[in-house]
Amino acid sequence: MPTPTKGPRLGGSPTHERIMLNNLSQQLFEHKRITTTVTKAKRLRPVAERLITFAKKGDLNARRRVLRSIGNKSVVHELFTVIAPAMAERPGGYTRITKIGNRKGDNAPMAVIELVMEPVATAAAVSEATKVAEAAAPAAEETKAAAPAAAEPSDLPAGAHAATENGEAPEGFEIKGNADSMKYHVPGSRWYANTQAEIWFDTKESAEAAGYAPAGGAAAQTISED
């Protein structure tokens, strides 16, 4: 018995293997996807895709050729009227194999082989979509430029002002806040002059509302009357 060139034979004879693959092809065309071993799925793929190629021709000679492999006329009718038209624009790759792990018992590697029925994006369709996108791009840019800029949300609490570059107090904000220690210093207090403000507050109440505590206690942070 001759040894096949693509691996071990799937049956006891070439005829047995051919009948097995034809039966698997019939099940694939009927159910659109089947679960089998990885070896059978790989051997089934060229057989099934060859039959689909015949079906895409659609003539009487092609139908007779497929009927020699698949005896179920209803499945052949499904192949010629539903599957082949759905793959009319697809140049190849009519099936997809997905490995799903090993089978319980004999630990054989299993796979799902299914028909690829999704529509194909032709070159003309891609070119048309590209032209539409390019034509719409300038209008989108003009709309974006004409739209008013959204105001950036402020992360500062109420009654607070961000630190200035020169370190001077903004008008109306004289209380220094230290973000690391979460303490505030009022003018004239012990550490006021040596503290670099990371945030400014207008009142002690605003600083305390933001979670800042008086440095050294409330008595130490009394606004000087000098």
Residue type, 56: K
DSSP letter (8 states) at residue 199: E
pTM of the model: 0.53
The owner of tokens 């029925």 is 117
Backbone angles phi, psi at 52, to 5 degrees: -65, -40
Tens-place pLDDT, residues 172-218:
888 888 877 888 888 888 778 878 888 888 888 888 888 888 887 77
Give CA–CA dist 143/14, Å, rounded.
68
pLDDT < 70: residue spans in the chain: 1-8, 121-122, 124-125, 139-155, 221-226
Q: Please give the pLDDT value at position 147.
A: 56
DSSP characters over 103-156: PTTT--EEEEEEE--SPP--HHHHHHHHHHHHHHHHHHHHHHHHSPPPPPPP-S
8 A C-beta contact, residue 9 and residue 2: no
CATH 3.90.1030.10, the chain: domain bounds: 14-115
In this structure, the strands spanning 160-162 and 33-37 are unpaired
Cβ(201)–Cβ(212) below 8 Å: yes
Q: What is the DSSP letter of 34?
A: E
Residue 152, pLDDT score: 43
User: How many CA atoms lie within 13 Å of 204's alpha carbon, on the beta-carbon side?
Assistant: 14
Q: What is the rounded distance in angstroms from the CA atom of residue 225 to the CA atom of residue 111?
A: 86
Classify domain 14-115 at the CATH topology level.
50s Ribosomal Protein L17; Chain: A, (3.90.1030)
Determine the pLDDT at residue 41: 94
